[in-house]
Amino acid sequence: MRALLAVLMLLVLSVPALAVRPDEMLADPALEARARTISEGLRCLVCQNQSIDDSDADLAHDLRVIVRERLTAGDSDDQVRAYLVARYGEYVLLNPVIAPHTLLLWIAAPVALVIGGIAVFIGARRKRAVVTDAELSDEERKALEELER
C-alpha cells in the first residue's frame, strides 16, 4: 500500500516536469540548464501564474522554443529575457523588476497592511473606550450580576 502511495505521489509531483517536451530539449546539457533557469522566471501568458516550464499551453511551448533558439544563437541569459520583455512586455516576468514605474506595485501591499493595522488598533481602542465609559442603569447592573453568577 505504501509503495502504491509513493508511486502516486511521484507521479503527481512530476506532472509539471512533463510540460517541457523532449523535442524541445537542447542536446547541450549546459544550454538546457540555462534554458530551464530562464524558463522558471518567465510567466505563461495564458496560465498567468505558472512558469512556462510548468505550462502545457501552446504559447508556453512557443516561448520555451524561443528561449532555446536565442540561447543557441549565442545570446546571454539577460539578452534572452530582454528580448522576451521587448516582445511581450514586463508581464512575461514572474518576478516584476524594481523600477520607478513598478514602485507602486512594491509599496502598495506593505502600506495597505500598515494602514489596516492602524485602523484595527484605533477601532479596538474606541470600542473599548465606549464600553468602559458607558453607565449602566440599576436594572442592567442587576441583570449583569445575575448573569455573572
pLDDT digits (tens, 9 = 90+) for 45-62: 888 788 888 888 888 888
Q: Regarding predicted confidence, which is higher, 22 or 140?
A: 140
Q: What is the pLDDT of residue 135?
A: 75
* Coil/strand/helix, residue 93: strand
Instruction: Compute the residue count for the chain.
Output: 149
CB-based contact 63:44 (threshold 8 Å): yes
pTM over 0.85: no
Tell me which of 30-39, 81-90, 109-118 is least confident. Answer: 30-39
Inter-residue contact 103 to 109 (CB < 8 Å): no
Mean pLDDT of all residues in 98-122: 87
Above 80 in pLDDT, residue 35? yes
DSSP state of 43: B
